[in-house]
């Protein structure tokens, strides 16, 4: 079947544009995250000017100075809202690049590693936009968008494959079902893993004075440990059934393609290990004494297994799924 090279080129351009827009969004969100320190510095400067001009007074640190910080606080908030809107625009470009890739190849556009990573990152952005839409949760988007940009950079630089047909074993309607479910589930797990990492970082300072400087400022803007834990748990609750369904669909497809449901192929084995780890996380969250740091470490271990399965198994270990590279 002929490949539409024009649509393929447009897909590549949309992909590059999406990456650029995501980078702009990340800058805006980082500025919002660092906004507290900027606001304090601006407030101090204004205070000095007021003192020099003989202006009115009253702040906690200087009882004779009045500084209206509402305007300064709104700058960071406006940049955050702008970043959220820019992220939506980037996602539309991202999804457009996926759709155009499919139209160019006349197939479901996830038959190789480049395409799989692309749709996984799109799933992570969609879930991030939904789960982190509240202003108090928006700082977490910085730590979701950073690995998304890294993965997209790897996909565009080293995993890119020219638009073309897939190998015969992938010419099945199960490609759309199995890979779609697994990739979206993987994207949701990325959001959950980021939330658990931030939970462990934030928990180190529970009941303690935050450090000074940028580190303390960032920590002060993050959601509470309870909220980060809820985000991690809620996203796994959604992703785990999806991933389970993806594994089951893969087994059915394997029986159709290779004559057996399960053969302990390296990718199947690591997928099963990741499934067990996430099942252990859900169990740990329901077990007294395991709800906090221990459960978070299990969640992170599950995401590490997913990344290992995505890259190491596909490129280092030889198996039936090696064609995905």
> For residue 61, what pLDDT band results from cuts at 50, 70 and 90?
very low
pLDDT at 153: 97
- CA quadruple 309, 246, 1, 12: dihedral sign: negative
> For residue 74, what pLDDT band results from cuts at 50, 70 and 90?
low
pLDDT at 320: 60
Which residue do the tokens 């202003």 mark? 135
Res 63 pLDDT > 50: no
Give per-residue pLDDT as tens, 137-190.
999 999 999 999 999 999 999 999 999 888 777 788 888 899 899 999 999 999
Nearest Cα neighbor of 195 from 299, 306, 280, 308 is 299
Show the tokens assigned to 325: 């590279």
Show the tokens assigned to 97: 């690049």
| Percentage of the chain exceeding pLDDT 90 | 58
Average pLDDT over residues 230-249: 96
Give per-residue pLDDT as tens, 153-162.
999 999 999 9
Q: Which helix or strand (DSSP H or E) is residue 267 part of?
A: helix 266-285
Average pLDDT over residues 63-88: 70
Our measurement of the distance from residue 83's CA atom to the centroid of its chain's CA atoms, rounded to an integer in Å, reads: 15
Least confident of 18-27, 35-44, 279-288: 35-44
**Residue 58 — left, alpha, or beta (φ > 0 → left; ψ -120 to 50 → alpha)?**
left
pLDDT at 216: 81
Res 57 pLDDT > 50: no
Residue 3 to residue 21: CA distance in whole angstroms:
28
């Amino acid at each position: 079947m002929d490949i539409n090279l024009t649509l393929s080129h447009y897909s590549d351009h949309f992909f590059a544009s999406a990456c650029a827009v995501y980078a702009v969004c990340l800058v805006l969100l980082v500025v919002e995250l660092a906004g507290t320190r900027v606001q304090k510095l601006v407030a101090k400067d204004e205070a000095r000017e007021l003192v020099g001009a003989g202006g009115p007074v009253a702040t906690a640190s200087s009882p004779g100075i009045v500084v209206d910080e509402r305007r300064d606080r709104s700058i960071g908030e406006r940049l955050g809202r702008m970043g959220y809107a820019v992220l939506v625009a980037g996602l539309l470009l991202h999804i457009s690049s996926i759709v155009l890739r499919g139209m160019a190849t006349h197939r479901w556009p996830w038959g190789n590693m480049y395409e799989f990573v692309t749709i996984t990152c799109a799933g992570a952005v969609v879930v991030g936009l939904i789960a982190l839409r509240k202003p108090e949760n928006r700082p977490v988007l910085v730590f979701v968008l950073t690995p998304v940009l890294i993965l997209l950079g790897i996909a565009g630089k080293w995993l890119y494959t020219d638009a073309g047909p897939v190998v015969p074993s992938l010419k099945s309607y199960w490609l759309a079902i199995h890979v779609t479910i697994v990739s979206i589930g993987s994207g949701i797990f990325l959001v959950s893993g980021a939330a658990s990492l931030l939970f462990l970082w934030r928990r180190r300072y529970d009941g303690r004075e935050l450090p000074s400087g940028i580190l303390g400022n960032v920590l002060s803007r993050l959601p509470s440990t309870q909220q980060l834990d809820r985000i991690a748990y809620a996203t796994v609750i959604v992703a785990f059934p999806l991933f389970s369904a993806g594994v089951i669909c893969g087994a059915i497809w394997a029986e159709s393609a290779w004559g057996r449901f399960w053969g302990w192929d390296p990718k199947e084995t690591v997928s099963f290990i990741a499934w067990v780890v996430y099942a252990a996380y859900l169990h740990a969250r329901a077990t007294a004494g395991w709800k906090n740091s221990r459960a978070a470490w299990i969640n992170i271990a599950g995401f590490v297994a997913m990344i290992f399965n995505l890259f190491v198994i596909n490129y280092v270990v030889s198996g039936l799924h090696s064609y995905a590279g």
